[in-house]
């Protein structure tokens, strides 16, 4: 978890408060992440930041300001199926 990071300007305490999940964690971004909600084949996303909320997560890709919501699987992979342009709104949408 050495590579796990938080969004700039946010603390883990703030993320937990806004999301309502007292066990929210920052996860290592080195894992398989796909955008599966679009038409056609899933798109691979290169994650910069991943926040975990039990079986859900929020992913901020490299070179993208949006936050993607998805399912976190037991093998560590993520399938994203929702997107938000604001972290606060994404946290409230969990």
Give the whole-angstrom CA distance, residue 53 versus residue 72. 9
What does the pLDDT average to over 45-53? 97
Query: Residue 57 is part of which domain span?
Result: 12-92
Go through 55-94 and write b for each residue having 16 or more CB atoms within 10 A of its CB, e for each that does not: ebbbbbbeeeeebbbbebeeeeebbbeebbeebeebbeeb
pLDDT at 38: 77
3-state helix, strand, coil in the chain (%, to 5): 15, 35, 50
What does the pLDDT average to over 23-28? 97
Please count the structural domains in the chain.
Answer: 1
Confidence of residue 29 (pLDDT cuts 50, 70, 90): very high
Residue, of 40 and 48, whose pLDDT is higher: 48
pLDDT at 40: 86
Give the whole-angstrom CA distance, residue 34 versus residue 15. 23
Give the whole-angstrom CA distance, residue 52 versus residue 77. 12
Query: Residue 1 domain-assigned?
Result: no
Query: Residue 5 domain-assigned?
Result: no
Q: What is the pTM of this model?
A: 0.94
CA 29 to chain centre: 9
């Amino acid at each position: 978890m050495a590579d796990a990071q938080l969004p700039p300007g946010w603390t883990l305490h703030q993320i937990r408060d806004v999301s309502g999940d007292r066990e929210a964690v920052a996860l290592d971004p080195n894992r398989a992440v796909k955008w599966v909600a679009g038409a056609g084949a899933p798109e691979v996303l290169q994650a910069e930041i991943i926040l975990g909320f039990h079986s859900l997560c929020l992913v901020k890709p490299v070179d993208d300001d949006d936050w993607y919501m998805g399912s976190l699987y037991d093998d560590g992979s993520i399938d994203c199926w929702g997107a938000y342009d604001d972290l606060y709104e994404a946290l409230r949408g969990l």
